[in-house]
Structure 1
């Protein structure tokens, strides 16, 4: 909605009140002239003038107070948690119409926030319930003597504990996202050694999870990670910690959707601006349907793509890509699903060094 300018609008409240004053003056003047010509007593003219002015004022006032009463009722419903009601006067071409549109937009925003809050509580409860139930079952079996506290049992318990830890870390990142408390600490760095470190950490994390939990499919140590940086001396300007979140989450998502013994490629190229960066993460999985591409970066979205490595795999929390988008947005960059002949290609562009304006 475009904000009205400082000038007087033809249908504004000021214009209506001004018209009311002008009409009242004309009526009074006209009646006074009639009185002078017909020699009517002034008191009758005064009574007629007052009655006419009151009738016109009542007509104008009703057009102003009726929508205000409706807005008050809608605002009261919103304050009680009912975000379904809307003000009907949003089509008016005056200040009350602007106010009605603002109240309706506020109700839409509050309804979206309330819906996201309920989804967050439901999804977090679901994510916490699974590892807690598994951990409880393992410990109850040990306490009841059903199973012994052997290394395999302890590895199972450790697996669920680590899953809880990862979920808590992800939720903390999500809390920082909502609170807007994260500031960028951008600096110049060499891309090749930086991304090599991220890929090495991803391999070590997968190996550690496999050792601590047995031979589960979720570890995906069979997927090969490949790095392609050109030119090799490429440098970029970004927040290293936030960029780590982006790359790590994109790699994690690509690995989960890769076929057995698949390949995930992290590609880095120079962007159009000084120290800007173009990143792509490619996998050989089933890809993302075009109808789902606008939703993959939403929170708790797992999409409708079947996992290529069979049942029992860890589909994740559905927060990784949402956090990646948040970190990219902090940089003022862009992230999206690019066209790919095979698998999925996520493309990230970071603007590099901010350019002076003017």
Structure 2
């Protein structure tokens, strides 16, 4: 019986919310209140006059007129408060984890604007929740894979099944380093959210710097061929650790999405500044993978965004990892006041980083 009653109440609620809202075209809630007051008074007066013409006394027609005017008011004014009731119900649903509820925002007044803002907020929260769930799933997978591999190696060594040869220990070290990279990315992300990271700029020999970062990437991905093109004597002023994050993440992204055995190319060139003698830095990392469609190029730098895995992607990094590397790279570039973007290239993917010349001290 209670189930049928609940179904009936929901049916009545749906019917009530679909009723027309005649005051929606009005742009001000104050005007709506004035219209409601005028309609209420006019309805009551008309009922009293109509009863007087039919020979009824005012003490009989006035209560009837009041009741009828209240009913008319309820019909024409229900759209004024309906969005507020819907927002209350939607907010309660969101508190339970349901972000799919939306408010019927047909009014053009302040309440309608509030309803539209509420719907945008609900959509943003739904997207954040989707990203959170995907991030948890991605990180859980990324953690589970090296931990499982490391556990298997150590168990085999401990049980005497596999001797502790340098090759076996190197395999365990690779999994440990993979875990360390993931933890470092998560720590970097927490610094981004806290806004606690600053810059410590210093003079950098770009050729030596690129060679160092590329050598580290090659050690972690021996199957990929890395190539560099940096003019000798090129120097730049930037935060070495932050710039290392940028290049390392770009190399990892290119190696992961490029074909087996590369190549991944790193190029650097000076960027002429607006001030006489000021020179910035242009870095580009290119691969020969499937590339990024123009419609997806802005999203690849968003947090938790993951590209599709390629046939050459390393096993254990489905979908291109956790989706943090390029987001962290953009954050580090923006700390320098620079820009990072995917540029057009006939083949593969090319990401360009611009580090402007630092401003002179005041």
TM-score in terms of structure 2 length: 0.73
Q: Which of 15, 30, 34 is the aligned partner of 1:18?
A: 34
State the alpha-carbon separation in 2 of the partners of residues 221 and 73 from structure 1. 55
Is contact 1:198–1:247 with CA below 8 Å preserved after alignment? no
Q: Which of 267, 278, 283 is the aligned partner of 1:280?
A: 283
1:80 equivalenced with 2:96 (yes/no): yes
Is contact 1:270–1:276 with CA below 8 Å preserved after alignment? yes
Q: Which residue of 1 aligns with 2:245?
A: 245
Deviation at 1:333, TM superposition (A): 3.5
- The alignment's C-alpha RMSD in Å is 3.9
Provide Cα deviations, 1:222-279, integer angstroms capped at 9, x if missing partner.
52333237xx56655x544333321222233345537647462322332554457352
Is contact 1:325–1:335 with CA below 8 Å preserved after alignment? yes
Matches within 5 A, 1:136-155: 136-155=151-170
State the alpha-carbon separation in 1 of the partners of residues 293 and 177 from structure 2. 34
Q: Which residue of 1 aligns with 2:81?
A: 65
Q: Which runs of 5+ in 1 are unaligned?
A: 1-8, 35-39, 211-217
Is contact 1:331–1:350 with CA below 8 Å preserved after alignment? yes
Is contact 1:276–1:350 with CA below 8 Å preserved after alignment? no
Per mean C-alpha deviation after superposition, the further-off stretch among 152-161 and 51-60 is 51-60
State the alpha-carbon separation in 2 of the partners of residues 283 and 50 from structure 1. 77
Matches within 5 A, 1:281-320: 281-283=284-286, 285-286=288-289, 288-290=291-293, 293-298=297-302, 299=304, 301-307=306-312, 317=321, 318-320=323-325
In the alignment of these two chains, the number of paired residues is: 329
Deviation at 1:48, TM superposition (A): 7.5
Deviation at 1:162, TM superposition (A): 1.5
Q: Which residue of 2 aligns with 1:195?
A: 206
State the alpha-carbon separation in 2 of the partners of residues 269 and 45 from structure 1. 90
Distance 1:271 1:200, change over 3 A: same
Q: Which residue of 1 aligns with 2:333?
A: 328
Distance 1:42 1:146, change over 3 A: closer
Per mean C-alpha deviation after superposition, the further-off stretch among 50-59 and 282-291 is 50-59
TM-score in terms of structure 1 length: 0.74
Is contact 1:276–1:351 with CA below 8 Å preserved after alignment? yes
Matches within 5 A, 1:144-183: 144-177=159-192, 179-183=193-197
Is contact 2:224–2:260 with CA below 8 Å preserved after alignment? no
Q: Which of 148, 161, 175 is the aligned partner of 1:133?
A: 148
Provide Cα deviations, 1:182-227, integer angstroms capped at 9, x if missing partner.
343264x54xx343343233244246x46xxxxxxx2357523332
Distance 1:102 1:139, change over 3 A: same
State the alpha-carbon separation in 2 of the partners of residues 73 and 261 from structure 1. 55
Deviation at 1:320, TM superposition (A): 2.0
State the alpha-carbon separation in 2 of the partners of residues 233 and 225 from structure 1. 13
Is contact 2:205–2:234 with CA below 8 Å preserved after alignment? no
Distance 1:15 1:186, change over 3 A: farther
